[in-house]
Structure 1
């Protein structure tokens, strides 16, 4: 039985209003490196969590943060996207060993359709052992892609139906509906966010960062922990990170068009545990020059016309918690010249 053990910390401490969500896809030795972690490395990750963190289920964490209720310090949630069979074969036995709850975001219409996908029998078995399942859309689509001659309203209706039809099927198969949706490829824009929020969904992206009660619940960040991000030492820093409180983000949009090559990006940080002068921002591994005016962080982003997914990651050390960093990530999505979206 999993128990909640709260660490004695100051009332309303940042650490108790905070959690980290990890994102995995494959746990295998013979799947694409960019989205895979080997079973051996995955076991190392889980051992580190067992020794240093409190692993809780996604629903508990989301609801406590939404209700501004305290969490144990160093709370971590484990999630997977896409519902691959190797999760059942390789990850699940390890997670059972540690008695860790976790969530898999699946495409319910695709379940059992190929030998690399979980089937409903496996999902039922895993569900009896504490695994929860949530929505990744009926089809694994680029939600920002429009069909030929498709109007904006028709596009929004189509991508919304992809979510709501999947949620209906999940409810039929599982008997519950979490209304948690992980954006395929981590792609979203403000119209999708607004629509899903109006329907009662919580959204999950693939940008980095911790989460808190003040986070944007239409696109909560998760730390990828596979491929180049699977090394344990750098992952430890992320697992111990804190959600950076930001406001007045400009631009608020995430989807860019091909006319955007240079972009002025800014946000406000006003928090007594953060010294704005210590904020550092990076894009594609390169440190960005930025200005700080009374906690307003502003910078110029170049080469934004390049197709794909761009992320600006900003960090700052905590004054109160030694060796822990606040983290904020802003994603931007850019199509190709032909209007296509890269996998």
Structure 2
């Protein structure tokens, strides 16, 4: 049954890939202390009994709350939402009722943590609560305040909104700066989504890499400064609009001390690329809680090397297979599955190296290969890794 959910999750995640603390910290800190206490208590007093317990039903393990254990390396799922409304574009929206069901599930089965805690844990290789989840929104829509904020505030869930400063207070669906300041004072974190939600890779081929990079980086820095001027905060977090980036942009982020966030899927952990952290879309076609549960329980695939260095493609066919080097005996590579456009693709395993090929033409815009493999020690949980591809049209631009 769980394998079917994995397959359906993959299908959902591929079909529409071109669509797109102050008060809050108190409860989080209490949860951390309780989790740590119970984890130590379990190890000292119940380890022999646990080791003798027969394996539970896999589906029950996916559902089970794990407040009593800590994992040895940081691992988290980052959720991505846009609109929380029943009257906005379906492709990027989730109804308030469905959003509430997501949050109720998280309250029972996961620990919601600030995005900053996830980033810090990965950077410093410190622990996070078992099944940690961070909540993010892109674009700064007013319905986040109207429909999501009351639910999140009631549950004391921290969350981050990536905004375009030049759009705030301009569009009829956007938050105003007064609302942003009020939410910030209420513990909501705001971060950079560029000034105006541009396609960051547009014009790269026409302008040349150096001129293009100077242009888009000026946009990023201007957006960061405007957020700092309004809110007196500069996290240097950048969520790529449409999830689009290339190696030159990622290298610039690293050189300037920024953390980047994409829209390809997967959990995050110690081996994650800090300039392109994956997030699970959880609205539109991805709002189905049955398949989202599998993603929330996923583990970050410990990929230490990939032969696919640049997600920005200069042609629509891969010239060679892509190989991933995976550094963990806990990844059951004998049962790995990779999917492209919702369909399984051929894989090959040699030692700890996973190789896959995409034989069909890549679509203009955004696509990805998702690979999963079960954990040997955590029944019902799957390692997850996404390889994104970005293809421009004939004019060198990227579609919405």
* Same fold per superposition (TM over 0.5): yes
**Contact 1:136 / 1:181 at 8 angstroms: preserved in 2?**
yes
Alpha-carbon distance in 2 for matches of 1:182, 1:67: 21
C-alpha RMSD of the superposition: 1.7
Pairs within 5 Å for 1:176-255: 176-255=233-312
Q: What residue is the counterpart of 2:142 in the other structure?
A: 85
Q: What residue is the counterpart of 1:8 in the other structure?
A: 39
SS of residue in 2 equivalent to 1:139: coil
Higher share in helix: 2
Which moved further from structure 2: 136-145 or 266-275? Answer: 266-275
Q: What residue is the counterpart of 1:36 in the other structure?
A: 93
Residue 318 (str. 1) matches residue 375 (str. 2):
yes
**Contact 1:106 / 1:135 at 8 angstroms: preserved in 2?**
yes
Q: What residue is the counterpart of 1:47 in the other structure?
A: 104
For the structure 1 residues 258 and 70, does the alpha-carbon distance in structure 2 shift closer, same or farther, using more than 3 Å as the test?
A: same
Pairs within 5 Å for 1:62-73: 62-73=119-130
Residue 127 (str. 1) matches residue 184 (str. 2):
yes
Higher relative contact order (CA 8 A, sep 6+): 2
SS of residue in 2 equivalent to 1:214: coil
Alpha-carbon distance in 2 for matches of 1:255, 1:161: 21
Alpha-carbon distance in 2 for matches of 1:327, 1:246: 10
Deviation at 1:127, TM superposition (A): 1.1
Alpha-carbon distance in 1 for matches of 2:101, 2:320: 40
Alpha-carbon distance in 1 for matches of 2:219, 2:112: 31
Larger Rg belongs to:
2
For the structure 1 residues 153 and 52, does the alpha-carbon distance in structure 2 shift closer, same or farther, using more than 3 Å as the test?
A: same
Alpha-carbon distance in 2 for matches of 1:148, 1:269: 33
Residue 257 (str. 1) matches residue 314 (str. 2):
yes
Alpha-carbon distance in 2 for matches of 1:238, 1:261: 27
Alpha-carbon distance in 1 for matches of 2:296, 2:316: 37
SS of residue in 1 equivalent to 2:39: coil
Q: What residue is the counterpart of 2:3 in the other structure?
A: none
For the structure 1 residues 18 and 79, does the alpha-carbon distance in structure 2 shift closer, same or farther, using more than 3 Å as the test?
A: same
Q: What residue is the counterpart of 2:173 in the other structure?
A: 116
Deviation at 1:247, TM superposition (A): 2.3
Q: What residue is the counterpart of 1:143 in the other structure?
A: 200
Deviation at 1:75, TM superposition (A): 0.5
Q: Paired residues, what number?
A: 342
SS of residue in 1 equivalent to 2:302: coil
**Contact 1:82 / 1:106 at 8 angstroms: preserved in 2?**
yes
**Contact 1:26 / 1:37 at 8 angstroms: preserved in 2?**
yes
Deviation at 1:191, TM superposition (A): 0.1
**Contact 1:14 / 1:242 at 8 angstroms: preserved in 2?**
no
Alpha-carbon distance in 1 for matches of 2:318, 2:122: 37
Stretches of structure 2 lacking an aligned partner (at least 5 in a row): 1-25, 44-68
SS of residue in 1 equivalent to 2:369: strand
Q: Deviations over 1:102-132 (max 9, x none)?
A: 0000001211012211111111111122100
Deviation at 1:8, TM superposition (A): 2.0
Deviation at 1:337, TM superposition (A): 2.1
**Contact 2:298 / 2:384 at 8 angstroms: preserved in 1?**
yes
Q: Deviations over 1:298-342 (max 9, x none)?
A: 122123442011111000111111100110001010011232201
Q: Deviations over 1:80-104 (max 9, x none)?
A: 0000011011111111111101000
SS of residue in 1 equivalent to 2:160: strand
Residue 167 (str. 1) matches residue 224 (str. 2):
yes
Which moved further from structure 2: 333-342 or 318-327? Answer: 333-342
**Contact 2:307 / 2:324 at 8 angstroms: preserved in 1?**
yes
Residue 106 (str. 1) matches residue 163 (str. 2):
yes
Pairs within 5 Å for 1:261-272: 262-272=319-329
SS of residue in 2 equivalent to 1:113: coil
Q: What residue is the counterpart of 1:328 in the other structure?
A: 385
Alpha-carbon distance in 2 for matches of 1:289, 1:148: 32
Q: Deviations over 1:23-47 (max 9, x none)?
A: 0000000111111100000000000
Pairs within 5 Å for 1:270-285: 270-285=327-342
SS of residue in 1 equivalent to 2:339: strand
Alpha-carbon distance in 2 for matches of 1:67, 1:231: 34
Q: What residue is the counterpart of 1:338 in the other structure?
A: 395
**Contact 2:80 / 2:282 at 8 angstroms: preserved in 1?**
yes
Deviation at 1:230, TM superposition (A): 0.3
Alpha-carbon distance in 1 for matches of 2:216, 2:125: 31
Stretches of structure 1 lacking an aligned partner (at least 5 in a row): none
